[in-house]
Amino acid sequence: MHIVRFLILVLFVAALIPQNHATAAETEADKIQKEWQLSAGAGLIVAPAFTGAKTCNLLAVPDIRITYKELFFANVKDGIGYAVINRDGWRVGPVLTYTFSRSEKDGGSPFRIAGGNSNALQGMGDVSGTVSLGGFAEYSLKPLKVKLSLHKGITGHEGVAGEAGISYGGVVTHNGPPLIYSFGPHVKFGDQNYTNAYWGISTEQSQRSGLERYHADGGITAYGVNAFAMVPWTKAVSVSVIAGFDRLAPPVTNSPLVRIRGAENQALGGLFLSYGF
C-alpha cells in the first residue's frame, strides 16, 4: 500500500502547482488550468476475483487522475509516466506502475467490498505486490490510436509483462451533453517469471493445493476487447462506464488452477463518477 500513498502524495503536490500561480495575471492562471488537469472520483467494478477466476468481486475503486498537457500522467490504473517524445502523433516515455498483491484467501484486492469468497487459490500461497518499471509508446491517427506498454517487475514477481492494443474513439453530439467513447481489441503477454508467479504450480504448491505441478511458458496470456464511454454531466462532473472481455491463452488456461478451479473467459464492467478541478 506504500505505492498507493506515494501516488496520492504525487497527485496532491501536483494539484497545488496551479495554485502557486494564483497571484499572477488571470490569463496566466487560465493557461495553467488548461495545462494541468486534476480529477477525483470513485467507481464500482464487477471483475474476476483474480485473473483466471470463475467467481467475481465487487470493487469500490478510487479514481484520481492528473495530467500535464500531453506529457505527464498519474493515476492508479496506468501508474506514473512522462512522454519524453510527444510529436507527430507519437507519445513515448517511461512509466512506473504497481500491481496489487494476490491473496490466497480471496484474491486480495484492497478495494474488494463483496464477493470472492471461494477456495480456488487454496494452497497457492500469496503473490506479492509488484512495482514495475517500463515504458509506453502510442501513435494516434484520429480516430485510431495504437498503444504498446512493457513493464519489468523490480519487486514481487520480477517478470516482464506487456499489452498491445488499438482503439477507435470519438465524440457523439446530440441535443444533450456529448458522449465520448472508445473501444478496441488488445493482447496481453508475459515471460515465464510473470506467468509462473500467477499460474505456475510448484511442487510445494501442488502438495498444498492438490493440483498437479505446472510450469507455465511465456507468451500471449490473454486477448480481448475493452470499451469506454463518458458523459459530462456538468462542467465539472462526469459519468463513465467501462466494460471488457478477455479470453485467456494457453499459458494460462493450461494451468490446473484455471482448468480445474477457474474459467477461460473473463469479463468486467464498471461505473465511475468523477469531479474535475
pLDDT, tens only, 17-69: 343 433 444 455 455 557 899 999 999 999 999 999 999 999 999 999 999 98
Residues 18/31, Cβ–Cβ less than 8 Å: no
Place of cell 505456475: 200
Of 169, 226, 163, the C-alpha closest to 189 is 163
Identity of the residue numbered 137: A
The pLDDT of residue 6 is: 39
The pLDDT of residue 193 is: 97
DSSP 235: S
SS (H, E, C) 148-193: EEEEEECCCCCCEEEEEEEEEEEEECCCCCCEEEEEEEEEEEECHH
Mean pLDDT score across all residues of the chain: 88
Residues 184/225, Cβ–Cβ less than 8 Å: yes
Q: 12 is written with which cell numbers?
A: 496532491
The pLDDT of residue 33 is: 53
* Rounded Cα–Cα distance for residues 143 and 87 (Å): 17
The pLDDT of residue 25 is: 42
* Rounded Cα–Cα distance for residues 185 and 196 (Å): 25
What pTM value is reported for the model? Answer: 0.84
Of 170, 101, 165, the C-alpha closest to 136 is 165
Q: 90 is written with which cell numbers?
A: 507519437
- Domains of the chain in start order, with CATH, are 2-30+41-276 (2.40.160.40)
Per-residue pLDDT reduced to its tens digit, 260-269 = 999 999 999 9
Q: 28 is written with which cell numbers?
A: 496566466
Question: How do 130-141 and 90-99 pair as beta strands?
Answer: antiparallel
CA distances 250 to 36, 68, 72, 85, 94, Å, are 43, 40, 36, 36, 30
* Rounded Cα–Cα distance for residues 186 and 97 (Å): 19
